[in-house]
Structure 1
Amino acid sequence: MKKHWGNPPSLQAWNSTSQPCDWPEIWCESGRVVVVRLAQMNITGTLPTTICELENILEIMILNNDISGTIPQSIRNCSKLETLDLTGNFLTGPIPGELFLLQNLNYLTLKDNMLSGELPNPIELVSLSFLDLSYNHLNGSIPADIGKLYNLSTLILSNNSLSGSIPNGLFRLPQLSSLTLGHNMLSGEIPRHIEGSILRSVVFSHNYLNGSIPEELGKLCSLSLLDLSNNSLSGSIPNGLFSLKGLSYLFLGHNSLSGGIPASMDFESLQEIDLSHNYLNGSIPKGFGELSEFRSLDLSDNQFSGDILAIVSHFSSKHIYQATIRLCSNILSGRIPYEFTIQASINNCFDVLNMCSNNEVMGLPSCPPSKLCSDEKFQGFLSCPPKKPKHVIIRVLAAFGGLVVGLVGLIVILFVTGKSRSKKRVCDATEWDMICFQKLDFTKWDILSSLSDNNLIGTGGLSDNNLIGTGGSGKVYRIPLNQTGKYVAVKWIWNKRKPGHRLEKEFLAEVQTLGSICHTSIVKLLCCISSKNTKLLVYEYMKNQSLHRWLHGRKKGASSDGNLVLRVVLDWPTRLQIAIRVAQGLSYMHHDCSPPIIHRDIKSSNILLDSEFCAKIADFGLAKFLTRNRDPETASAIAGTFGYIAPEYARTAKVNVKIDIYSFGVVLLELATGRGAVIQDEHINLAEWAWRHCKEEKSIIDALDEDIKEACFLEEMSAMFKLGLSCTATAPSTRPSMREVLQILHSRSFNRSWEEVRKMLLAPPFKY
């Protein structure tokens, strides 16, 4: 083993001057090695295939090192193995099926690696009590065989890309105490048949689960943690959950739950509860104030009503001064006690503006009336002050002076009144309509008053000071939401006359498409605000703007403000995750939407990045629903952007999913090579350039982006280059589906040889 890893300094004590049983990190029984523990030893290389030649080995722990490559199939020879811990390495490839046949294995953790593929099936780990495969890139469904591991006490599969439903058998495992499946792509309902009487922790957060919360969860008397947040659960919260004496943490936020909360609660140890971003209503029970241990209560963004003074009176001074209480964006009314307001402001327990969006709550720090005015009775908004008639003011001025003073006063009045009328246009409810597609913590007046107060509205539209993007169907601006410190992105479609037919059609396409879909890899359309001559589409704001900006828009040696700085380059792991996220969104559009949705304008400038560089697909102005028979449709006109348009679409205007796959292939080539979709100095597009590179039998490595070309990434970068070529193949039938593309990206390898890719391309890409 030491020789296999290149004789690392950390293993210098392993030498022939002593017996292996005397070496550090080694334990023996009866002169035979039974335990190898190598934690944080700076070991690099792969797992040796000979490791199971230690016939009596019971425990292998090689964690938090730099082990790469795959888990060898020879692991099946460790027939006596009881513990295997390979946490925190760089292992890739699928989990070998042989590993899941070791009947003596009791403890298995492969967390925090880069493993991919589906979970092995069958599973015969009859002795297994602990299984942790979290923080990998595993996909496919959870095998039903896991429900037969009757000795299993802990199951952690979180932070993967697992899909499908939760197997019914998981809740029937008699020894299971901890079940963590969060941050996956699981769907369907939570199983109803629950027998896990000793379950202490259930975490299903950040999935796509729907249906109601099973009443049976309220019968798990040992439950301490329940996290079902960020799903699509509906219906009411089971009363039984509020009777679990041992429950310490209850997280049900960001769902579509409705109904009220029981007046009585039997919690004895509850510390944190989050029911935010739902549709819960009724009064807030005084039972919350009787909880002696709680540290955090979040009921924000619901429809709770009642008098705020009565609600606050439920809480003790200990709660007020030490706990976090969030009640923002409900329909509460009344006055908050002064001492509570002061402490709330100090502890930031209340978001002051969001408390303003409760109904007539008083006693809060004042909300600037000029920025929160409305001619309608929106929650917490002040009425726009009435405008005084001109002739009244003129009489007053005339009474105080002569002709010159009167003329000067008249000019001033006309100017002020003109601005007042301009402001009134923004506050006139009859001119603007709003359609919401998400639960919002702002109103149309936040948007419109922000446009006005920031002098962004002019006779020709918005000021370019806040311009962050331009597309075929409009300009996009960054707009601050007054007082919140948050931003939204507003696409402005404006015309002095009636909007043109094309813009109107693209506007309706975008509203229809984004209003009907919801996916973490697709930018959220929050609402649509429109008047007679103006249309505004309001999106979530993506702080890091477009992928195109990061790949091609930054010049060496200079920042956007002109200062000399080092060039900022997207590293390879970030580029790979961007590709995966976009592929997830396109796979959802093509395979999970009915009818399928064709974007028709996939390009790097329509891929936006949030503050964490998570990618989302944007600009659905050219999107088209495919007919249910999925036959190609003929578009009325060619849509898309030069360099990204599939050759058959350019010739025939036929629309199907393959044109999006072609465009995404160009994006993959951009990510791998760092080149733009059009190579100006050679007067060809990137797909044709890559095809020539292939035809001339040049090395793939020579085509890769020099800025990030490191030895440890070459295999993955080469795989993406080949995948980009496959997606841009001239014959649409030879292009992979988006599901296949996503699977390849997850696996980080492309199993077609360079020669096979050359044959597949058949002919050079069509020249526009």
Structure 2
Amino acid sequence: MSELTILFLRTSPLLCVLVLLSLPFKVISQDANTENTILLNLKQQLGNPSSIQSWNSSSSPCDWTGVTCGDDGSVSGLDLGEKNITETIPATVCDLKNLTFLYMNLNYIPGGFPKVLYNCTKLQYLDLSQNIFVGPIPDDIDKLSGLRYINLGANNFTGNIPPQIGNLTELLTLHLFQNQFNGTFPKEIGKLSNLEELGFAFNEFLPSSIPVEFGQLKKLRFLWMRQSNLIGEIPESLNNLSSLEHLDLAGNYLEGKIPDGLFSLKNLTNLYLFQNNFSGEITQRVETLNLVEIDLAMNHLNGSIPEDFGKLKKLQLLSLFDNHLSGEVPSSIGLLPALTTFKVFSNNLSGALPPKMGFYSKLVEFDVSTNQFSGQLPENLCAGGVLLGAVAFENNLSGRVPKSLGNCNSLHTIQLYSNSFSGEIPAGVWTASNMTYLMLSDNSFSGGLPSKLAWNLSRLELSNNRFSGPIPPGISSWVNLVDFKASNNLLSGEIPVEITSLPHLSNLLLDGNQFSGQLPSKIISWKSLTSLNLSRNALSGQIPEEMGSLPDLLYLDLSQNHFSGQIPLEFDQLKLIFLNLSSNHLSGKIPDQFDNLAYDNSFLNNSNLCAVNPILNFPNCYAKLRDSKKMPSKTLALILVLTVTIFLVTMTVTLFKVRDYQRKKAKRDLAAWKLTSFQRLDFTEANVLASLTENNLIGSGGSGKVYRVAINRAGDYVAVKRIWINEKMDHNLEKEFLAEVQILGTIRHANIVKLLCCISSESSKLLVYEFLENQSLDRWLHGRKRTSSMGTSSVHNSVLDWPTRFQIAMGAAQGLSYMHHDCSTPIIHRDVKSSNILLDSELKARIADFGLARILAKQGEVHTMSVVAGSFGYMAPEYAYTTRVNEKIDVYSFGVVLLELATGREPNSGDEHTSLAEWARQQFGQGKPVVDCLDPEIKEPCFLQEMTTVFNLGLICTHSLSSTRPSMKDVLEILRRGFADSNGEKKTGAELDVFPLLGTATSLSAKTQHETAI
């Protein structure tokens, strides 16, 4: 049975009984042989789909798959949903004279609305959802006068919804959601006095207000107009919808006051109005005793939270975040017995929190951050034992952390930073079995650090408190810690060697404490460390030379300590963005890499340091050496004369022999090369050609080798791609070279790699790009896994956190959207994959490798390629067997990248038989929770909503039917909506809603879409 059939059965059980039972009067049955013939002809005209092979001449039609018969033996219904039908609906179907219902949803039926169905005179139930119908709904649709149920959702219908639809007076259900309607919807729908369900969600109608006439739909139970481009105010007439149970107007541009009467509808159970422009206060008259969920988030509501909300005994979700609400939270809300979710963050609320919050209900989500609450946290937040997060940062709360939180093993996160809490942390908080984030900075907490932490804790933030005592040796058990921030406390003693055994540590901030003694030297295991700040302590001894071997270290601050000795020569291997060694007792030479103005403040107040570069304000090292080891003048003169003599003899012997040859060869070689620049250059071809050696090789592939070339003494580099080496250039490689030059030489975008110039000769082709030091996304996502299986070390050992992955996804989407929609002639890349997304020093994305790209003559025009090119695991299915391409093949490939970012899996590692896209679709189709598919290394509660949304977006982008995939512009818009919350801290409850922008782009069943959106 199809998903939409299940939806139909759920919402209209009485109607289904009428369909499946016989009509109330006896009809004259068609001859069985005649119906047999009709159905066999229908099967042939539908292309003989394999899913209805049971249709044959040797059995009764009533025994066939998808065929329903009435009591008289005639065919009364056809359920041909999800049968892979790709043909138009033939007129033959209406030769079945008693046909009452026809389900052909979840197929690939093309063409316009099938007017042939007008001849089905007894048709009452029609489901054509999730096909690829196009064009308008016909003005004469009222010829289907007997219809009681019609579902045309998730297609490509456009234009207006005709007023004549209001003449279908028998209609109980009307679903037109998720199409491409770009016109208007009629007020005549208000004439459908029997209508119970109306679904117009996810359409780009012309800006329209809700017709006053909709208030006449007295039997309407379900009104779904999410993301429908609605404007104006909600009409007061909707207060007349006395049967209404579910109202969803979210994601529109509605404004003004919410009508008081909506809270007086006795049958209303779900109210969704978030992400509009409502202003004013929430009504104080709340009589909706059945209300289960109230979501008014992300509007412009002001005033206070109504006291009457405390009367809603069935209320489970109260979401009012991101408004301008003020005043106190009514204490009666803390007494609600069914409340599980309480989210009021980002308002101007004040006063004490309801003291009984969580005592009478099983609270799951609690987020009151960024308000002005004072007093203590409610003592019983976790009385129900299912609380996932206690989030109250950026308030004026004080007192101790409730002891009950120390007995709450369900907790994933406690975020109390930027308050005035004091006292010691309850012991159980440190070790709660599911704890992932513990963020307590900027308070007045005291006490010592624990020997044991929760096994999965990855983020511990304690800065700006009064924690004291040593770091316990038991820190070696904090094995999953990624961030440890304890700046500006009273911690003391030596930094224990056990801290160096934390394999995932990325940020270690211990500045502003009272640590003393020497640094541990065994720090080579800190392969993932990017930030180390130990400044403003009393550390002494030498800086360990092993620190120079930390591959990912970017920020290092050891200032204001008592370090002595030389700066290790191994520091030349570091790629630091920030370095501060000032105010110590260091001596000797400043390493060459840091002997420049970029680090002119990094070594202040170290009187015994010297420099080679006179730009820095330090003594010259050679002068100091000369002063310390003065040689007798006669000896020095003798050495100088001897050196000059040997040099002159050598030069005399060789100069005349090779001078002419070298000059001729140099001129001949350089003349053979042609440089074509696309940017302003500060180097010549000679700088590049001299450095194409194996020592500078950083990568190779099917189309050539890539070198890292220094172009000046300041340490600037470029990446040089050599297309051909010492053999005749392949025709395909020649085409790739020309494509890359043609495209990158003419486009400019922050998220597309810069082609600086090309250098070519008859025997070789060179492309010179900006150098991106963080290499490819592929190496960051999958490099460590390949290390364990292949033994290679040229990979990244750090784990990209979710905010960084989200930033990369948005950057890559911006680059692709520019190519598809903003170039004068659209460009398709044809080889989008994680190894072709490069990352700069800030881990921002650049699209690279345009050797397979093509410029389309017109946007959206389909091109046929003579050969298939691309990468397995990323290749859209239609490209593999038709070689017909448009922008949607890039959308598919980008969808795979999104799945990689969300799951951490490789594109061909779904399982032993499937690609990642197929695996993800199977997991979703089998009803498995999306959270089980996400990357366990970064799966954190505050990011789960965003990760789930990106996973769903990846599913939609990788739909097997190209016409149902979204455009890159739509994909980018979805990602932009979530970018402000991608750090997972400011709005832990923020929702990224995938479906509103996607038109028909979906691979999910209508039921799943319906419920997900709701």
Q: TM-score, normalised by structure 1?
A: 0.53
- Structure 1 contact 117–747 (Cα < 8 Å) conserved: no
Q: Secondary structure in 2 aligned to 1:340? A: helix
CA deviations on 1:96-134 (whole Å, 9 max, x unpaired) are 444454221101123344545543443232211112233
Corresponding residue of 1:131: 174
C-alpha distance 746-719 of structure 1, shift in aligned 2 (>3 A) = farther
Q: 1:187 aligns with which of 225, 231, 240?
A: 231
The answer to whether residue 95 in structure 2 is matched with residue 56 in structure 1 is no
- Structure 1 contact 70–91 (Cα < 8 Å) conserved: yes
C-alpha distance 613-120 of structure 1, shift in aligned 2 (>3 A) = farther
Corresponding residue of 2:334: 289
The answer to whether residue 507 in structure 2 is matched with residue 367 in structure 1 is no
List runs of 5+ in structure 2 lacking aligned partners. Answer: 1-41, 364-381, 430-438, 443-459, 466-484, 491-536, 544-555, 562-576, 583-593, 600-678, 681-749, 755-768, 787-803, 837-845, 889-968, 974-997, 1002-1014
Q: Secondary structure in 2 aligned to 1:334? A: strand
Q: 2:268 aligns with which of 223, 243, 248?
A: 223
- Structure 1 contact 76–98 (Cα < 8 Å) conserved: no
Corresponding residue of 2:397: 333
Residues 288-327 of structure 1: pairs in structure 2 closer than 5 A: 288-308=333-353, 311-312=355-356, 315-316=359-360, 319=363, 320-322=382-384, 324=387
Q: Quick one: distance in 2 between partners of 1:56 and 1:292?
A: 52
CA deviations on 1:338-365 (whole Å, 9 max, x unpaired) are 3332255x3337x422x32456587766
Corresponding residue of 1:13: 54
Q: Quick one: distance in 1 between partners of 2:209 and 2:390?
A: 32
CA deviations on 1:594-630 (whole Å, 9 max, x unpaired) are xxxxxxxxxxxxxx994896789869xxxxxxxxxxx
C-alpha distance 161-609 of structure 1, shift in aligned 2 (>3 A) = farther
Q: Quick one: distance in 2 between partners of 1:105 and 1:175?
A: 17
Q: Quick one: distance in 2 between partners of 1:276 and 1:116?
A: 35
Corresponding residue of 1:663: 822
Q: Secondary structure in 2 aligned to 1:10? A: helix
Corresponding residue of 1:254: 298
Please report the RMSD computed on the Cα atoms of aligned residues, expressed in angstroms.
Answer: 5.7
- Structure 2 contact 820–887 (Cα < 8 Å) conserved: no
Residues 455-604 of structure 1: pairs in structure 2 closer than 5 A: 460=598, 559=779
Q: Secondary structure in 1 aligned to 2:326? A: strand
1:328 CA displacement: 2.7
Q: Quick one: distance in 2 between partners of 1:58 and 1:170?
A: 28
Pairs aligned (count) = 506
Percent of residue pairs identical: 25
The answer to whether residue 161 in structure 2 is matched with residue 119 in structure 1 is yes
What is the identity, as a one-letter code, of the residue corresponding to 1:37?
A: D
- Structure 2 contact 46–86 (Cα < 8 Å) conserved: yes
Q: Quick one: distance in 2 between partners of 1:410 and 1:158?
A: 63
Q: Quick one: distance in 1 between partners of 2:224 and 2:821?
A: 38
- Structure 2 contact 103–127 (Cα < 8 Å) conserved: yes
Corresponding residue of 2:255: 210
Q: Quick one: distance in 1 between partners of 2:99 and 2:48?
A: 22
Residues 43-122 of structure 1: pairs in structure 2 closer than 5 A: 43-99=85-141, 101-122=143-164
- Structure 2 contact 124–146 (Cα < 8 Å) conserved: yes
The answer to whether residue 79 in structure 2 is matched with residue 37 in structure 1 is yes
CA deviations on 1:247-274 (whole Å, 9 max, x unpaired) are 1111112222222113343212112221
Q: Quick one: distance in 1 between partners of 2:383 and 2:324?
A: 28
- Structure 2 contact 204–229 (Cα < 8 Å) conserved: yes
- Structure 2 contact 160–184 (Cα < 8 Å) conserved: yes
Q: Secondary structure in 1 aligned to 2:223? A: strand
Corresponding residue of 1:145: 188
The answer to whether residue 417 in structure 2 is matched with residue 348 in structure 1 is no
1:546 CA displacement: 5.2
Q: Secondary structure in 2 aligned to 1:152? A: coil
1:702 CA displacement: 4.5
C-alpha distance 297-53 of structure 1, shift in aligned 2 (>3 A) = same
Q: Secondary structure in 1 aligned to 2:58? A: coil
1:292 CA displacement: 1.5
What is the identity, as a one-letter code, of the residue corresponding to 1:334?
A: S
Q: 1:235 aligns with which of 277, 280, 283?
A: 280
Q: Secondary structure in 2 aligned to 1:35? A: strand
Q: Quick one: distance in 2 between partners of 1:712 and 1:127?
A: 45
Q: Quick one: distance in 2 between partners of 1:373 and 1:266?
A: 42
Q: 2:204 aligns with which of 147, 157, 161?
A: 161
Q: Quick one: distance in 1 between partners of 2:865 and 2:557?
A: 67
Corresponding residue of 1:196: 241
Q: Quick one: distance in 1 between partners of 2:847 and 2:487?
A: 52
The answer to whether residue 320 in structure 2 is matched with residue 275 in structure 1 is yes
What is the identity, as a one-letter code, of the residue corresponding to 1:245?
A: L
Q: Quick one: distance in 2 between partners of 1:681 and 1:21?
A: 58
Corresponding residue of 1:27: 68
1:155 CA displacement: 0.9
C-alpha distance 12-411 of structure 1, shift in aligned 2 (>3 A) = closer
Corresponding residue of 1:625: none
- Structure 1 contact 26–36 (Cα < 8 Å) conserved: yes
Corresponding residue of 2:637: none
1:38 CA displacement: 2.7
What is the identity, as a one-letter code, of the residue corresponding to 2:114?
A: P
Q: Quick one: distance in 2 between partners of 1:563 and 1:384?
A: 34
- Structure 2 contact 867–883 (Cα < 8 Å) conserved: no
- Structure 2 contact 171–194 (Cα < 8 Å) conserved: yes
1:287 CA displacement: 0.9
Bigger shift: residues 98-107 or 668-677 = 668-677
CA deviations on 1:183-232 (whole Å, 9 max, x unpaired) are 44333332233211111110112233222222221221221110112223
List runs of 5+ in structure 1 lacking aligned partners. Answer: 376-380, 387-408, 422-449, 462-470, 473-544, 566-607, 620-640, 645-659, 722-737, 749-768
CA deviations on 1:353-394 (whole Å, 9 max, x unpaired) are 2x324565877667256977689xxxxx999689xxxxxxxx
What is the identity, as a one-letter code, of the residue corresponding to 2:345?
A: S
Q: Quick one: distance in 1 between partners of 2:324 and 2:557?
A: 43
Q: Quick one: distance in 1 between partners of 2:777 and 2:808?
A: 24
- Structure 1 contact 300–330 (Cα < 8 Å) conserved: no
Q: Secondary structure in 2 aligned to 1:301? A: coil
Q: Quick one: distance in 2 between partners of 1:122 and 1:703?
A: 50
- Structure 2 contact 137–157 (Cα < 8 Å) conserved: yes
What is the identity, as a one-letter code, of the residue corresponding to 1:20?
A: P
Q: TM-score, normalised by structure 2?
A: 0.42
Q: Quick one: distance in 2 between partners of 1:564 and 1:267?
A: 52
Q: Quick one: distance in 2 between partners of 1:313 and 1:410?
A: 46
Q: Quick one: distance in 2 between partners of 1:671 and 1:100?
A: 46
- Structure 1 contact 330–359 (Cα < 8 Å) conserved: no
